[in-house]
Homo-oligomer: A and B are copies of this chain.
Amino acid sequence: MNTASVPDEEPRWLDDEEQRIWRSYVHATTLLEDHLDRQLQRDAGMPHIYYGLLVGLAESPDRRLRMTELAMKAKITRSRLSHAIARLERNGWVRREDCPDDKRGQFAVLTDPGLEMLKGAAPGHVRAVRNALFDRLTPEQQKSLGEIMRIVAEGLQPDEAGADLPWLR
């Protein structure tokens, strides 16, 4: 069956244009992640991904989500989430709660201070995202970017629920 790949035969290398595209992608994403990490570390004392976790909770009913759901939403491993929530808990932005239905389960809950911090940090973050991304692109480019990224994300993540990523290992 050889589902893995075809480890043999000369691969189809990237041509010059593809190389340029790929490098631009790597550079842009590296620089932007870095930029946002710094912006949020400075203004909110946490990296971008942690901020995303708080946002994820803020949007959810009762400002809470099961650990695994949050991990899926943020596209990170459960292990990484576990550490992250532990840290956010130390900061008082998040609280853990047992799940009544499933004794194994845990909820991550956004606290009031957590929500406040989010409100405080959000404006600066949006500004940063606009400055670095939206303000530099035409409406067509924005639309195109959205489609492209949607395609790539879906390709790496077999449709939402049915994800056969075990949840990310």
**What residues of chain A have their CB less than 8 Å away from a CB belonging to chain B?**
5-7, 10-14, 17-18, 20-22, 24-35, 49, 52, 74-76, 122-124, 126-127, 129-134, 136-137, 141-153, 155-157, 168
Q: State in angstroms the CA–CA spacing of A74 and B26 once bound together.
A: 9
**Which residues of chain B are within 8 angstroms of A75 by Cβ–Cβ distance?**
26-27, 30-31, 34
**Which residues of chain B are within 8 angstroms of A122 by Cβ–Cβ distance?**
11
Majority secondary structure of chain A interface residues (helix, strand, loop or mixed): helix
25 intermolecular pairs with C-beta atoms under 8 Å apart: A11-B126, A12-B126, A17-B146, A20-B146, A21-B142, A24-B153, A25-B133, A26-B52, A26-B75, A27-B75, A28-B148, A28-B150, A28-B152, A29-B29, A29-B33, A29-B149, A30-B49, A32-B152, A32-B156, A35-B156, A133-B152, A136-B152, A137-B151, A141-B148, A144-B144
**Which residues of chain B are within 8 angstroms of A30 by Cβ–Cβ distance?**
49, 74-76
**Copies of this protein, total:** 2
A63–chain B nearest beta-carbon distance, Å? 18
Q: State in angstroms the CA–CA spacing of A148 and B131 once bound together.
A: 14
Q: State in angstroms the CA–CA spacing of A10 and B124 once bound together.
A: 10
Q: Which chain B residue lies CB-closest to A52?
A: B26
**Which residues of chain B are within 8 angstroms of A34 by Cβ–Cβ distance?**
75, 168
Q: State in angstroms the CA–CA spacing of A13 and B55 once bound together.
A: 14
Say yes or no: A136 contacts B153, CB within 8 Å.
Answer: no
**Which residues of chain B are within 8 angstroms of A17 by Cβ–Cβ distance?**
146
Q: State in angstroms the CA–CA spacing of A4 and B122 once bound together.
A: 16
